[in-house]
Structure 1
Amino acid sequence: MAQAWLIELLKGTGKLLLNPVFYYLFLLAAILGVSRVKRERKNFHVRVENAYFELRQLLPTGAVIGIAISIISLAAGLVIPFEAVLLTACATILASITTKVRLLSPAYTVGAAFFAFILAVNQNWSIPYFPDLFASLGNGIYPAIAVLISLLIIGEGVLILKNGQKGTSPKLIKSKRGQSVGVHEVKRLWMLPVFLVIPGDAISALFEWWPIFTVGGKEFSFILVPFAVGFYQQIQGMLPKEAVKLVGKRVIVLGVITLIFAGAGYWWPIISIAVVALAVLGREVLTLRDRLSEENKPFYFSKRNKGLMILGIILDSPAHKMALQVGELITKVNGIQVNDEKAFYEAVQRNRAHCKLEILDVNGEIRFVQRALYEGDHHELGILFVQEEKKWGTEAV
């Protein structure tokens, strides 16, 4: 039996390459990378990370979390109707058309698929090329989908917590007073490939060649489904890493709460509807709460009376190799106190072969960093500051 299951899992993995959503998510990640680079160049005339950054983040961490969700769902015996998988794929594509990456959260895509699934069963929808797709299903509510959406939300929270803080993108905006201020933007897309067990006759009725296995006289199939996880956050009032981690923890808590109630759906199926609704509304409330909270906070990355706030660090630049951090305050350069960009430029130019900085870190402690400068190094160390008003849109340090 174990060998047969392993063979079916391998076959289900191969079918991932036949899923158009798999390729579509790579396309979306590439578009996000290109648009980010264009915006950064518009603000700073230089990009922080290359356009492949979003592509590199798409799968590795998500694959690990997807395996964990697969193990849990298989151990729990979740059986997901194939029709729900199709509707989730449709919801993913429709959500992406809005260009709002946050709508690719599983709470929205799987949640929309769940309610569309119930409606399709009750109304006996007829889809072109698949006229009898929903005809064989009963009118029951599938609590397994409610459990799955809870697991995916927990996975989303872990992704935000562990991966969302990487490569946050600096951005220049205008405050309500018309001043140039800095914020950090996270616009990320991940893929969660999850093994699902579906009724065997659901796919074999459409594709006779699809592999199936039998348990207790019933036929089932394995399928590896690529679920999208989209995340967007604009951070203005605190350090990007802290803000992203806070959101990740809240999303995990939401997933755990919905998972606890989702289990009761096996005894009272009607609860599954409330659980999915809670998942959708809860995720939206978290987004609105975060946005309103940020809007009411003073700008963290604004001009200071003493020192220069680091808004961003260019990858592989001298500043990156000196381990400078976003949010730190540069107070002295080569022993000279600096309060604006002009003073910073002049102090750096005083010694073209060596640079020593006095830094006030995010904990308010003073530290010193220094490095020899070599030919070919970024001529301005690779530090991005909040621009002077007269230098709006020009190259930053």
Structure 2
Amino acid sequence: MDGFTAGQILRTLWPGLARLLVNPLLYAGAALVIWDVWRNARHERAFFGVRVTRRRAHLLLLAGLSLAAGCLMSVWNAVIGAGAAPGEVGVVTAAVLLLGLVRVRWLSPLYGAAVCAAASQVASAFGAGTARTFAAGTSGWHPGAGAPWAEALGTVWAAIAGFDAASWAGLLAGVMLCEALLLALFRTRWLRPVYVLSRRGRAIGAFAIQLAFVAPVWIPMAGGVTGIASLPYVAGQGFTALPVLIGFGGVFAGLSTRRVLTVVCLRDLAVAVVLAAGAFAAMQAGPVWANAALWVGALGAEAVRLWVDRAEGASDPQYAPALDGVRVLATLPGSLARAMGLVPGEVITHVNQVPVHTGYDLHFAFEQNPAYAKLRVVDRRGEARLVGKPVYDGERVKLGLLLVPEDPNQPCYRPIPSGLLQTVGLRLAAGDRGAQVPMDEASGSLTS
């Protein structure tokens, strides 16, 4: 931005920072993200006896990526000229928080903006003078001129009536693109092995997708920015800011997490295209197109989420116990199991030609020959292979092999719907100790 000093740019950004720091959504979102990571990491010892997630490193990486995502979305807003008034940011924040009290996954700004777009249409139907009537205290209730609550109501009403759906559609197109990019780049970084309760009441293996960001997004003040040609003048008109929650979470025992995240990425890209098209059409033919795009985007995102949950419920579990050995759920980084190339879902049937059927058998077989480990492994296609590695002093304690639960009453999570921050609602449960586990479940044919 030639012609602007660092002091001028800082003074331009400061109002946005001030508004960001007083926005309750920033603190609510950050608290939920921290609680989600910290609390669920504590449960790993109940599952595996070891801690898989390094909580501090995990949270620091989340913080860094949140800032990077906020910068990307802020640049997007400046480039396309997606401006917003502070009042609009306030009503979107209020809508997001109210929706979040109903469903945590609705903390996404996509849903809040869709509600504000609908409210704007209702407010417009009452006429532009209604807000001024409330503010002046001359409404039917006649609270008296200058009444604080009347002025506040008038301010909110004016913000709703003046809601610029086209700008918010363009802004949220950038949000959805950024979410798709983060999910695509880090789709394996945020996977956690867990135990989950099947529909027949026993513990089975699963993977949790636990990815949520609170990104601070700077938005140019509404009034004059029209796109790339006006980018140098953004610093001259000031910014407001909004904390944006993006990400995806859920627990999957049947569907491949790679497939789930691919579907979610494609959904985000499709929603971004719809929002961008609605914003462009609104500039040509009126705001009704942007309002429609916001609602189509929100309903489409919810429909895809529902489809993912139904597909998960109809899928056979990938990590149920095996009758002919022990099934691998995951391997820890830097461990002996990882060095051997063991893959989740494979079944270990022999260690040094000794048959194994339980985790105790596995460790006992390792102890019998401390110098070398030769494993017979059956992959998901039923093909057998041999893997081996010299075992030096101390390496046996670094086996790093996480197995599918053998005890049907092992502590585990109850199934949950998928969506933004859904893993914050995970609850520990124990299997039904009075139920008999069917043989088809033990063989891996049970649907979770």
Report the TM-score range of the alignment, normalised by the length of the smaller protein: 0.7 to 0.9
Work out whether residues 30 and 52 of structure 1, in 8 Å CA contact, stay in contact via their aligned partners in 2.
no
1:208-232 CA-to-partner distances (Å, cap 9, x unmatched) read xxxxx9969x973123432111422
Work out whether residues 216 and 242 of structure 2, in 8 Å CA contact, stay in contact via their aligned partners in 1.
yes
The 2-side partners of 1:365 and 1:70 are apart by 52
1:288-330 CA-to-partner distances (Å, cap 9, x unmatched) read 0000011001001112244432213345544345554433443
Work out whether residues 9 and 222 of structure 1, in 8 Å CA contact, stay in contact via their aligned partners in 2.
no
CA change 1:343–1:136 in 2 (3 A) is: closer
Q: In structure 2, what is the equivalent of residue 165 of structure 1?
A: 188
* Equivalent of residue 326 in structure 1, options 344, 347, 351: 344
Amino-acid identity (%): 22
Q: In structure 1, what is the equivalent of residue 420 of structure 2?
A: none
Q: Secondary structure at the match of 2:329?
A: strand
Give the CA deviation at 1:331: 4.0
Work out whether residues 202 and 409 of structure 2, in 8 Å CA contact, stay in contact via their aligned partners in 1.
no
2:109 equivalent to 1:106: yes
Q: In structure 1, what is the equivalent of residue 49 of structure 2?
A: 45
2:257 equivalent to 1:257: no
Give the CA deviation at 1:186: 1.8
The 1-side partners of 2:167 and 2:109 are apart by 15
Work out whether residues 357 and 368 of structure 1, in 8 Å CA contact, stay in contact via their aligned partners in 2.
yes
1:44-103 CA-to-partner distances (Å, cap 9, x unmatched) read 3333213335523433334334333333321222211222212233344444445x5422
Q: In structure 2, what is the equivalent of residue 26 of structure 1?
A: 30
1:254-287 CA-to-partner distances (Å, cap 9, x unmatched) read 2223322331111221111111111110111011
Q: In structure 1, what is the equivalent of residue 307 of structure 2?
A: 289
CA change 1:5–1:335 in 2 (3 A) is: farther
The 2-side partners of 1:306 and 1:88 are apart by 56
Work out whether residues 357 and 370 of structure 1, in 8 Å CA contact, stay in contact via their aligned partners in 2.
no
The 2-side partners of 1:182 and 1:330 are apart by 16
Q: In structure 2, what is the equivalent of residue 3 of structure 1?
A: 3
CA change 1:194–1:141 in 2 (3 A) is: closer
Give the CA deviation at 1:347: 1.6
Q: In structure 2, what is the equivalent of residue 76 of structure 1?
A: 80
* Equivalent of residue 251 in structure 2, options 234, 243, 257: 234
Give the CA deviation at 1:349: 1.8
The 2-side partners of 1:166 and 1:259 are apart by 30
Work out whether residues 70 and 194 of structure 1, in 8 Å CA contact, stay in contact via their aligned partners in 2.
yes
The 1-side partners of 2:232 and 2:397 are apart by 66
The AA in structure 2 aligned to 1:263 is: F
The 1-side partners of 2:237 and 2:179 are apart by 27
Give the CA deviation at 1:242: 3.4
The AA in structure 1 aligned to 2:270 is: V
2:198 equivalent to 1:175: yes
Give the CA deviation at 1:32: 0.3
Bigger shift: 175-184 or 87-96? Answer: 87-96
Larger Rg: 2
Q: In structure 2, what is the equivalent of residue 206 of structure 1?
A: none
2:216 equivalent to 1:193: yes
The 1-side partners of 2:277 and 2:5 are apart by 29
Bigger shift: 191-200 or 264-273? Answer: 191-200
Count of paired positions: 380
The AA in structure 2 aligned to 1:372 is: V
The 1-side partners of 2:319 and 2:338 are apart by 19
What's the Cα RMSD here? 3.7
* Equivalent of residue 174 in structure 2, options 137, 151, 155: 151
The 2-side partners of 1:8 and 1:285 are apart by 46
The AA in structure 2 aligned to 1:72 is: W
Give the CA deviation at 1:36: 0.9
CA change 1:47–1:214 in 2 (3 A) is: closer
The 2-side partners of 1:143 and 1:153 are apart by 15
The 2-side partners of 1:200 and 1:171 are apart by 50
Q: Secondary structure at the match of 1:327?
A: coil
The 1-side partners of 2:6 and 2:297 are apart by 33
Q: Secondary structure at the match of 2:72?
A: helix
The 2-side partners of 1:307 and 1:173 are apart by 20
What is the TM-score when the length of structure 1 is the normalising length? Answer: 0.80
The AA in structure 2 aligned to 1:308 is: V
Give the CA deviation at 1:190: 0.8
The 1-side partners of 2:113 and 2:194 are apart by 32
Work out whether residues 355 and 373 of structure 1, in 8 Å CA contact, stay in contact via their aligned partners in 2.
no
Q: Which runs of 5 or more structure 1 residues have no equivalent in the other structure?
A: 202-212
Q: Secondary structure at the match of 2:210?
A: strand
Q: Which runs of 5 or more structure 2 residues have no equivalent in the other structure?
A: 136-147, 225-230, 413-448
CA change 1:347–1:196 in 2 (3 A) is: same
Q: Map 1:218-367; keep pairs closer than 5 Å.
A: 220-267=237-284, 268-314=286-332, 316-320=334-338, 324-360=342-378, 366=385
The AA in structure 1 aligned to 2:113 is: V
Work out whether residues 329 and 402 of structure 2, in 8 Å CA contact, stay in contact via their aligned partners in 1.
yes
